[in-house]
């Protein structure tokens, strides 16, 4: 029993460290590369000088889908700024679901998103993403400046928060 | 102090990299020690809406016999705001009843606020999963939260009081949706069916004997469901034993399945009649109906049943009187028992006997 208690405490400290990993705030973002459904490549290394917004999502994640209209609204407001890049990272996806399946999923819902496939969940692992949705903003020098998980359903709040953050960093 | 530190370091290592393969699970109800020598055979995969990958179920067996089934599961747990991925290893016995769970290396269970499960939470989860009649069985996911109680500051899966009152004691505090998801996985009808179908293929006389001796209700019911007419005829002790000790559903099943050929024997009728008082109310009805189906009902069986008239409900009393009428039984013991029951002030249906006695046994 005692051992179990000690074990719990140690696991607890391990978990807290995992949670801290998720908060990479003000730290250098891990390097990563992605390929979009339409075939465009992205490399963080090549994106120095740009503000990057990562939106980790999956088709099974209802709050992720619910947050898309707000995300699209923010993306549109920065449409003319080539130094602001939105990456909708399809990660932790259902095994066997192809990018075509994911594309169909978005089309059926009228969501016009150029998503990036996180093959083998490499990028989500690098950012210690264990739940969805997660939104991350990386500044022009490659430092993580914003991390948020979940979506409570308030579009205006999300739009305001992200817009302010991007305005601050661009 | 030094040794304490070493133990601490060892446990920390276990927490970080997971447990050794042959370590026993956190909770495991079967009376056996899991060993490295067990053969693990992938049995089937199940993919359903809401799963992010197929659930693969494996049979564990030693050199002599199948032992249990297990699955290491990676699944999603979502509330209205966020989705998490949960890892767990579930164990079922050979008929698909939940028998335990374990955590998966480097993935301890956590609550929605990322707080890890406490010792009590782990125990509570096992207690919850062990209850196959949990109220969660009848709940839709949307019914888990009392929406009117949610405050703006609430973490939905947390400890805030928004959890619907009637399920509050049935779930791990702060892990409402995890508890719900895991209960429905542990008691999934599809998984149970897959396991049963697989065990059916392995079922032989040796496994049958193991099931009978196991004392596990599910195992005995599995045997009962597969008793043939020949089994009933050649092994009376087996099914009469089940009739005395087992669950009502099993008793009902046995009584319904006794072959008529066997029921026509006086010794069998007498034995069944003698068991009447030990049966539950539904099984008593099934037994009396079964007597009605018999080609011939023996007076000795009727006399035996008559000792317990006072235990019969209205419908059963009527069926019993029909049996007497059909056989024109007039034995002294029967008449005496009928009169005793009629005079028993605690027997609510004595009035049914009054006319019957008057019409059949009084001049």
Q: Where are the domains of chain B?
A: 2-190, 227-361
**How remote is the C-alpha of B212 from its chain's centroid?**
15
Secondary element (H or E) of residue A57? strand A51-57
* B69 in Cβ contact with B58 (< 8 Å): yes
Neighboring chain A residues of B19 at a CB cutoff of 8 Å: none
Mutate to test the interface with A, among B11, B26, B112, B122 (most CBs of A within 10 A): B11
Burial of A1: CB neighbours in 10 Å, binned 0-12, 13-18, 19+:
exposed
The whole-number pLDDT of residue B299 equals: 94
The whole-number pLDDT of residue B146 equals: 66
CA angle, corner B58, sides to B56 and B63, nearest 5? 165
- Residue A85: how many CB atoms within 10 A of its CB? 16
**pLDDT tens figures, A62-89:** 999 999 999 999 999 999 999 999 999 9
Neighboring chain B residues of A148 at a CB cutoff of 8 Å: none
Neighboring chain B residues of A19 at a CB cutoff of 8 Å: 114
A16 falls in which pLDDT band (50, 70, 90)? very low
Neighboring chain A residues of B108 at a CB cutoff of 8 Å: 11, 14-15
A102 touches B: beta carbon within 8 Å? no
Neighboring chain A residues of B12 at a CB cutoff of 8 Å: 10, 13-14
Contact A6 B119 (CB under 8 A): no
DSSP secondary structure code for residue A117 in this structure: E
User: Residue B154: closest CA among chain A residues belongs to which residue?
Assistant: A152
Calpha distance B265→B294 (Å, rounded): 10
A22 falls in which pLDDT band (50, 70, 90)? low
Contact A6 B7 (CB under 8 A): yes
The whole-number pLDDT of residue B233 equals: 93
The CATH number that domain A25-169 falls under is: 3.40.30.10
Contact B85 A153 (CB under 8 A): no
The whole-number pLDDT of residue B156 equals: 45
Closest CA of chain B from A68, distance in Å: 13
DSSP secondary structure code for residue B275 in this structure: H
Is residue A115 predicted with pLDDT exceeding 70? Answer: yes
Mutate to test the interface with A, among B108, B118, B121, B174 (most CBs of A within 10 A): B108
Cis peptide before A133 (omega within 30 of 0): yes
The whole-number pLDDT of residue B147 equals: 62
Closest CA of chain A from B80, distance in Å: 6
Is residue A10 predicted with pLDDT exceeding 60? Answer: no
Rounded mean pLDDT, A124-136: 93
Length of chain B: 363
Contact B11 A94 (CB under 8 A): no
Q: Find, among B118, B30, B100, the residue nearest to B66 by Cα.
A: B30
CA angle, corner B161, sides to B160 and B167, nearest 5? 125
Contact A19 B114 (CB under 8 A): yes
**pLDDT tens figures, A133-159:** 999 999 999 999 999 999 999 999 999
Rounded mean pLDDT, A2-10: 41
A120 touches B: beta carbon within 8 Å? no
Q: Find, among B199, B163, B176, B161, the residue nearest to B128 by Cα.
A: B176
Closest CA of chain B from A15, distance in Å: 7
A155 touches B: beta carbon within 8 Å? no
Calpha distance B233→B114 (Å, rounded): 60
Q: Which residue has the tokens 């956190």?
A: B26
Contact B108 A15 (CB under 8 A): yes
Contact A149 B82 (CB under 8 A): yes
Please list, in sequence order, all residues whose beta carbon lies within 8 angstroms of the beta carbon of residue B246, skipping any fewer than 6 positions away.
B217, B220, B221, B224
What pTM, to 2 d.p., does this model score?
0.81
Q: Residue B347: what are its φ and ψ, rounded to 5°?
A: -90, 110
Contact B83 A60 (CB under 8 A): yes
User: Residue B122: closest CA among chain A residues belongs to which residue?
Assistant: A8
A-B C-beta contacts closer than 8 Å = 84
Q: Find, among B146, B126, B128, B107, the residue nearest to B19 by Cα.
A: B107
Is residue A18 predicted with pLDDT exceeding 50? Answer: no
Q: Residue B104: what are its φ and ψ, rounded to 5°?
A: -105, 140
Contact B51 A6 (CB under 8 A): no
The whole-number pLDDT of residue A14 equals: 39
The whole-number pLDDT of residue B22 equals: 52
Domain edges within chain A: 25-169
Q: Give the tokens for residue B357.
A: 């006695």
Neighboring chain B residues of A64 at a CB cutoff of 8 Å: 83
Considering only CB atoms, A14 lies closest to which of B15, B54, B118, namely B15
Q: Find, among A147, A156, A129, A149, the residue nearest to A71 by Cα.
A: A156
A10 touches B: beta carbon within 8 Å? yes
> Can you name the residues that pair with B57 across neighbouring β-strands?
B44
Q: What is the pLDDT along chain B (363 residues), one digit of tens a residue?
A: 444 444 444 444 444 444 444 578 999 999 999 999 999 999 999 988 778 899 999 999 999 999 999 999 999 998 888 998 999 999 999 999 999 999 999 889 988 777 899 999 999 999 999 999 998 888 887 778 766 655 444 444 444 456 666 777 889 988 998 999 999 999 999 999 999 999 999 999 999 999 999 989 999 999 999 999 999 999 999 999 899 877 888 899 999 999 988 999 999 999 999 999 999 999 999 999 999 989 899 999 999 999 999 999 999 999 999 999 888 888 889 999 999 999 999 999 999 998 888 888 776
Q: Which residue has the tokens 């276990």?
A: B14
């Amino acid at each position: 029993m005692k051992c179990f208690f000690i074990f719990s405490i140690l696991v607890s400290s391990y978990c807290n460290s995992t949670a801290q990993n998720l908060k990479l705030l003000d730290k250098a973002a891990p390097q990563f590369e992605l390929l979009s459904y339409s075939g465009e490549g992205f490399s963080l290394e090549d994106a120095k000088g740009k503000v990057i917004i990562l939106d980790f999502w999956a088709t099974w994640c209802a709050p992720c889908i619910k947050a898309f209209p707000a995300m699209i609204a923010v993306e549109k407001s920065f449409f003319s700024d080539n130094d602001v890049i939105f990456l909708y990272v399809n990660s932790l996806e259902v095994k066997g679901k192809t990018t075509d399946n994911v594309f169909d999923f978005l089309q059926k819902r009228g969501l016009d998103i150029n998503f990036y496939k996180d093959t083998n969940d490499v990028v989500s692992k690098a950012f210690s993403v264990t739940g969805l949705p997660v939104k991350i903003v990386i500044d022009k020098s490659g430092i993580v400046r914003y991390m948020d998980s979940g979506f409570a359903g308030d579009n205006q709040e999300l739009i305001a928060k992200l817009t302010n953050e991007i305005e601050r960093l661009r | 102090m030094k040794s304490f530190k070493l133990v601490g370091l060892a446990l920390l290592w276990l927490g970080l990299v997971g447990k050794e393969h042959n370590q026993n699970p956190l909770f495991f109800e079967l009376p056996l020690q899991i060993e490295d020598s067990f053969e693990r055979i992938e049995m089937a995969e199940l993919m359903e809406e809401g799963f992010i990958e197929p659930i693969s179920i494996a049979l564990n067996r030693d050199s002599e016999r199948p032992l249990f089934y297990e699955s290491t599961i990676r699944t999603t747990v979502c509330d209205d705001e966020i989705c998490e991925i949960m890892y767990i290893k579930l164990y079922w016995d050979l008929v698909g009843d939940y028998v335990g769970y374990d955590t998966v290396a480097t993935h301890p269970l956590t609550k929605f606020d990322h707080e890890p499960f406490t010792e009590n939470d782990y125990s509570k989860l096992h207690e919850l999963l062990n209850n196959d009649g949990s109220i969660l069985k009848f709940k839709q996911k949307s019914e888990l939260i009392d929406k009117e109680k949610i405050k703006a500051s609430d973490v939905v899966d947390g400890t805030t009081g928004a959890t619907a009152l009637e399920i509050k004691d049935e779930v791990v505090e702060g892990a409402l949706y995890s508890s719900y998801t895991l209960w429905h996985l542990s008691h999934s009808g599809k998984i149970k069916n897959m396991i049963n179908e697989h065990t059916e293929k392995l079922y032989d006389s040796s496994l049958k004997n193991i099931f009978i001796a196991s004392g596990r209700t599910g195992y005995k019911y599995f045997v009962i469901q597969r008793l043939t007419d020949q089994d009933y005829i050649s092994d009376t002790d087996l099914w009469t034993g089940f009739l005395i000790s087992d669950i009502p559903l099993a008793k009902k099943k046995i009584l319904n399945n006794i072959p008529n050929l066997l029921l026509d024997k006086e010794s069998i009728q007498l034995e069944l009649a003698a068991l009447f008082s030990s049966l539950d109310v539904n099984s008593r009805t099934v037994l009396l109906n079964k007597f009605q189906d018999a080609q011939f009902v023996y007076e000795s069986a009727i006399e035996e049943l008559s000792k317990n008239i006072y235990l019969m409900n209205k419908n059963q009393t009527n069926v019993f009187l029909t049996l007497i009428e059909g056989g024109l039984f007039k034995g002294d013991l029967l008449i005496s028992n009928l009169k005793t029951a009629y005079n028993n002030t605690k027997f609510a249906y004595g009035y049914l006997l009054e006319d019957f006695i008057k019409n059949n046994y009084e001049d």
